[in-house]
Structure 1
Amino acid sequence: MPWSDTLDPYGRTISLGGYSLAAVLAVSEIVILALALHPNVNADYRAYYIDRTTTCLNRDAIGSYSLGQTVSFRSDGAKLAAGMIVCGWSGPVADGTHSLGETSRLRLQIPPLRNGLKATLQMAAVIRPPQITQRVMISVHGVSVHKVTLSGKEPTTVSFVIPHAAFSNARTFEMAFDYLDGIPPSQAASNIYKRSIKLVSFRLDAV
């Protein structure tokens, strides 16, 4: 028997092993590609990083709040305001907390109520000509509760009633601000890109 014939079984074993390894690698690459194209992530992550359908990445935050309390969103109220901020805000500074992106959200804990709430907010528009006004749409748990157009650099006090039905079934209270006129990008305004308002203070009162 030729010497080469005695090696055939080993050669076939090595070949089969090589084919098996190649098959495993191929399947692994297919799985990795599938995960890359359709990653198994939560809805908030997908909307912000993959689908790009929001500029507001959800944060697991619930602020402590007592009805009738005015919370400053300037530097002096940073500690209390920080707990309420979910997404779409920069840090508090001397003139308020600046919005970032197309949407901002606040979330806080309130006691069970039988009636609605009155919201009183102080806000100012971020202005850069030719953009001299900012339209803001405010909603509570997806229910539209107020629309306002801000102009001028001085803060404006905005008050409106929130119907009980907007939050009666929710475990927490969540308010969203949607902006239609955020500052567009430019070489001169890169540091205020997509900014719309400055939130100066926030207050809720039982109706």
Structure 2
Amino acid sequence: MSELAILTLALNPDVNGDYRAYYIDRTTTCLNRDAIGSYTPGRTISFRSDGARQTAAMRVCGWSGPVADGTHSLGESSRLRLALPPVRGGLLATLQVAAVIRPPQLTQRIVISANGVRLHQATVSGAAPMTVAFVIPQAALADTGRLELFFDYPDGIAQSPAASNIYNRSIKLISFRLDAL
């Protein structure tokens, strides 16, 4: 009887949804951390090594640690999670990003959503940083006091033919800023 109970648990473990999606179902490459970073609109945050302490709680999944040229995305998606003071009228998001390229692939597409609402698609190219700006409408903020930004990467570059897709590279995030509209 105990062996049957163990087998049942092994075949259908009682785990949370994030764990199941990453380790069991493999439907995501973004293993969520239960963290939330604080942020005040109007501040530019560096995602280079000089901003490591400021961004640590914001980078909840899909990011490597900050280095001199920015924070590299890992996998097919990434997330930033921020606690925000109340905002009226939406936000303008301004990101400095650079594409991770490997010829013949010279561009990277980024699909950006906020709190589950798809907002913007950008294509970045070349090694030089580019500015990506988009509006986050009040409706996407939903008065929750937090903002969760989702970045999906349809064109991620595998690091080797044998590497798992959790190691794909797409962008380097260099800086981040939100301004009230």
CA displacement at 1:193 relative to structure 2: 4.2
Does the CA-based 8 Å contact 1:116-1:163 persist in structure 2? Answer: yes
| Aligned: 1:45 with 2:19 | yes
Match of 1:205 in 2: 179
Q: How far apart are the structure 2 equivalents of 1:33 and 1:171?
A: 43
1:44-96 alpha-carbon deviations (Å, 9 max, x no partner): 11001000000101101111111100000001111101121100000000000
- For residue 89 of structure 1, give the secondary structure of its aligned residue in structure 2: coil
Matches within 5 A, 1:163-182: 163-182=137-156
CA displacement at 1:188 relative to structure 2: 10
How has the CA–CA distance of structure 1 residues 189 and 29 changed in structure 2, closer, same or farther, with 3 Å as cutoff?
closer
Amino acid at match of 1:61: A
- For residue 60 of structure 1, give the secondary structure of its aligned residue in structure 2: coil
**TM-score (norm. length: structure 1):** 0.83
Does the CA-based 8 Å contact 1:141-1:173 persist in structure 2? Answer: yes
Q: How far apart are the structure 1 equivalents of 2:5 and 2:105?
A: 48
Does the CA-based 8 Å contact 2:84-2:147 persist in structure 1? Answer: yes
CA displacement at 1:130 relative to structure 2: 1.5
CA displacement at 1:144 relative to structure 2: 0.7
| Aligned: 1:99 with 2:99 | no
Match of 1:186 in 2: 160
Question: Which protein has the larger Cα radius of gyration, Structure 1 or Structure 2?
Answer: 1
| Aligned: 1:77 with 2:51 | yes
- For residue 181 of structure 1, give the secondary structure of its aligned residue in structure 2: coil
- For residue 50 of structure 2, give the secondary structure of its aligned residue in structure 1: helix
Matches within 5 A, 1:124-203: 124-186=98-160, 193-203=167-177
Query: Structure 1: 5+ residue runs without aligned partners?
Result: 1-26
- Corresponding pairs, count: 180
CA displacement at 1:106 relative to structure 2: 0.2
Considering Cα pairs closer than 8 Å and 6+ residues apart, tell me whether 1 or 2 has the greater RCO: 2
CA displacement at 1:111 relative to structure 2: 0.7
Report percent identity of matched pairs.
70
Moved more, 109-118 or 181-190: 181-190
CA displacement at 1:184 relative to structure 2: 2.2
- Cα RMSD of the aligned pairs, angstroms, is 1.7
1:100-120 alpha-carbon deviations (Å, 9 max, x no partner): 000100001111122110000
Q: How far apart are the structure 1 equivalents of 2:44 and 2:20?
A: 35
- Structure whose residues are more often helix by fraction: 1
Moved more, 51-60 or 179-188: 179-188
